[in-house]
Amino acid sequence: MKKAFVAALLIITAIPLLIGVAALPPHGETTAPVHTHISARYLMRGAEEAGADNIVTGVLLNYRGLDTAGEVTVIFTALVAGLAVLITRRKEPGAKADSAARGDVPAPPPVSPVVSFVVQLLAPFIALFAVYVILNGHVTPGGGFQGGAILGALFIALTIVLGEGRTRSLMPRLALPWMQGAALISFVVVGVLGAGLTGYFLGFPAEASLHLVRELMMLVLEAGIGLGGAAIFATLFLQMEAE
């Protein structure tokens, strides 16, 4: 019964998707609407309309901001799903805590002093680079997603080198949920601000006099995506390490 239901659901979902795919213009056709209308508009007027010299950022945050808001929702949902699976497995009887107490699990090998030194030496520079990538995304390639990945990787490297105890303090218990949801929260804040200014959710004011407000809105989005991404990386890593 359950299987039949799942199969029916899959088929019902698949049919409109397949019809949609069949109706798409042939791949690579130069007269397809995407090449004659949208891309041309983005390339011609993206910098002035979206307020970002980097067209990718302009498209991501401004033209298709709602789409990106959906994306960060997906990432956040993935974190929730991952944590749900990991935490349940952790509570199973005979988990690692028991076996570690009996001494079955060998202690992790000590961290190489060379690796430890180099990671600690480079850490401030990597952190600076991550912030640069996040904040400079509207001018040069980069942005919140990329910078957040760098920041998350830095956290993971530091956790391996310094141990969980010392890096946990970077993610205080009270602030952690806000950090994990930072991307979503920033989209809601900027979206509502945009609604107040332009009448549309996630609308960006186009007036030249408000260009600073527009840039500030983009920076808030980038910072939120970066911080949120890094916190999600770090949380998943810590949870998996605890396995």
Partner 1 sequence: MISTADIRDATTVVLAAFGALFFLVGTIGLLRLPDFYARTHAATKCDTVGAGSLLIALAVFNGLDASTGKIIALAGLVLLSSPTTGHALARAAHRTGLAPWHAEKGRTP
Q: Would you tell me which residues interact with partner 1 (CB under 8 A)? A: 109, 112, 114-115, 118-119, 121-122, 125
Tell the smallest beta-carbon distance from residue 130 to partner 1 (Å).
Answer: 14
Whole-angstrom distance, CA of residue 36 vs CA of residue 136:
30
Q: Which residues, at least 6 apart from 235, have a Cβ–Cβ distance to it below 8 Å? A: 79, 83, 171, 176, 180
3-state secondary structure of 170: coil
Residue 115: name the closest of 162, 168, 68 by CA: 162
Residue number with CB closer to partner 1 (201 or 237):
237
Number of Cβ within 10 Å of residue 224's Cβ equals: 25
DSSP character for 208?
G
The distance of closest approach from Cβ of residue 114 to partner 1 in the complex, given in angstroms and rounded to an integer, is: 5
- Tell the smallest beta-carbon distance from residue 233 to partner 1 (Å): 20
* Minimum CB distance to partner 1, residue 156 (Å): 14
Choice between 99 and 120, CB closer to partner 1: 120
Nearer to partner 1, 122 or 195 (CB): 122
Can you list the alpha helix ranges (DSSP code H) found in the chain? 2-23, 33, 39-50, 55-57, 65-90, 96-102, 113-135, 144-162, 164-168, 176-180, 182-198, 211-241
Helix 211-241 and helix 182-198: axis angle, to 10°? 160
Question: Which CB sits closer to partner 1, 109 or 165?
Answer: 109
238 Cβ contact list (under 8 Å, min separation 6): 159, 164, 168
In the bound complex, what is the minimum distance in angstroms from residue 133's beta carbon to partner 1?
14
Q: Which is nearer to partner 1, 28 or 113 (CB)?
A: 113
Q: Which is nearer to partner 1, 28 or 109 (CB)?
A: 109
Nearer to partner 1, 107 or 208 (CB): 107
How does DSSP classify residue 209? G
How far apart are CB 109 and partner 1 at their closest, in Å?
Answer: 5
Least distance CB 112 / partner 1 (angstroms): 5
